[in-house]
Amino acid sequence: MTTTRSILVISHTGRSDSVEAATHVIGQLRDSGIRPVLIDEEREELKAAGADLAGVETLDDARARELELVMVLGGDGTILRAAELVREHTVPLLGVNLGHVGFLAELERDDLANAVHRVVERDYAVEERMTLDVSVTIGGEVVYSTWALNEATVEKASRERMLELVVEVDQRPLVSFGADGAVIATPTGSTAYNFSAGGPIIWPTVEAITLVPLSAHALFAKPIVVAPDSTLAIDVLGRSDGIGVLWCDGRRTFELEPGSRVNAERSATPVKLARLHDSPFTDRLVRKFHLPVSGWRGPAA
């Protein structure tokens, strides 16, 4: 007795190329005997766009537990949204980039048909990416809990007021400064906001957490990299009237009043990414950032 395979298709339905790609993927999966699954909102949008959704099911908790894979059609933002949707079920994500840089995506739009074929044949590997458990405490009481794949960012809420922050590592104070905020990032997030803020790029195989101050008014305000089992904390002091905001992956947010403490540590629940190519991370950096290495073929034999 065989069990029908279920694959969730997530797309950026606000874009015509994403709608076209989703329609193609749904048809190819269905023709291969695989059950396509959609979330309610995207099902209605694809239906309104004229897509043939015969045999396509809608995601619910029961169906989510049966998912083999999530095919994500869009940019990194769409992949982060998909990771949030299946967080509790740790289903692998396969990203097809329809956005700009698309660092989390495995493939580009031209490889879509081959990607579906590889999925049908189960010809893919799965790797785990570390995530962060993030919490906010006030007076020792936890008032908010969430998680992050890329980064947890403490930012000032208003342009004219900087934040007074204390950075701690493993419950030991490291430095205090006035700043626009600070970014706590995973290796996966090191090429996102962390990179833009001047932080280091960390290879995905390196288990570490990095913290980067944002426009700090201080002599010592350098990026730091700590062990994966370390706990980082940022205290929002009451020395100014600055109000902060916590952002996780640019999707989940919480206001930080003076006296708030943001804690970030490695989560026991990773995000799984499906991979079709065993290419070095160096090559991905060169390709995504268009680094000037053309003509150089490496050291002579």
- β-strands 231-236, 6-11 pairing: unpaired
Q: Which residues are catalytic?
A: 76
Rounded Cα gap, residues 127 and 111, in angstroms: 20
Rounded distance, CA 91 to CA 93, Å?
7
How far is 178 from 215, CA to CA, in rounded Å? 9
Euclidean distance between CA atoms 283 and 172, whole angstroms: 38
Beta carbons within 10 angstroms of residue 160's beta carbon:
7
Nearest C-alpha neighbor of 20 from the set 89, 83, 112:
112
CB atoms within 10 A of CB 40: 10
What are residue 212's DSSP bridge partners? 183
- What is residue 114's three-state secondary structure? helix
User: What is the C-alpha radius of gyration for the chain, rounded to an integer number of angstroms?
Assistant: 21
Beta-carbon contacts of 112 under 8 Å, excluding residues fewer than 6 positions away, are 21, 24, 25, 73, 96
Decide if 238 contacts 161 (C-beta within 8 A): no
Tell me the one-letter amino acid at 31: D
The span from the CA of 280 to the CA of 284, in Å, is 7
Question: Which residues is 71 bridged to in the sheet?
Answer: 9, 94
